[in-house]
Amino acid sequence: KAGVTQTPRYLIKTRGQQVTLSCSPISGHRSVSWYQQTPGQGLQFLFEYFSETQRNKGNFPGRFSGRQFSNSRSEMNVSTLELGDSALYLCASSPTADHTQYFGPGTRLTVL
């Protein structure tokens, strides 16, 4: 089975712009979670989607949003980018049977 894929792998944006990141889960996985990882804060949970519905949400401002499509692919959007949004954004999918999360390679976002 193919693993979790994320596109793009690298992005450079400037403050005030917006960005959309994409995640394709492992085939058959219906749950997709998003995380932000920075050296100082570690892995921070953004949100989880299951069957196109947001099931859990972390403590991030409303500038961070996401959605899931009927084929389980997911996107996250960050509007009005700030310098502090520079991070590795990770997507993870998990099967319904157990809740093990399998991660993609991440998207490295740099905000200048």
Q: Interface residues with another protein (CB under 8 A)?
A: 4, 42-43, 45, 48, 56, 88, 90, 92, 98-106, 108
Minimal distance, residue 100 CB to another protein, in Å:
6
Nearer to another protein, 43 or 80 (CB): 43
Which among 15, 99, 71, 84 is positioned nearest to 44, based on CA atoms?
84
What does the radius of gyration of the chain's CA atoms come to, in whole angstroms?
13
Nearer to another protein, 62 or 98 (CB): 98
Minimal distance, residue 48 CB to another protein, in Å:
7
Minimal distance, residue 79 CB to another protein, in Å:
24
User: How many residues are listed for the chain in this entry?
Assistant: 112
Q: Is the peptide bond before 8 cis (omega within 30 degrees of 0)?
A: yes
Nearer to another protein, 79 or 103 (CB): 103
Residue position matching structure tokens 């403590």 = 59
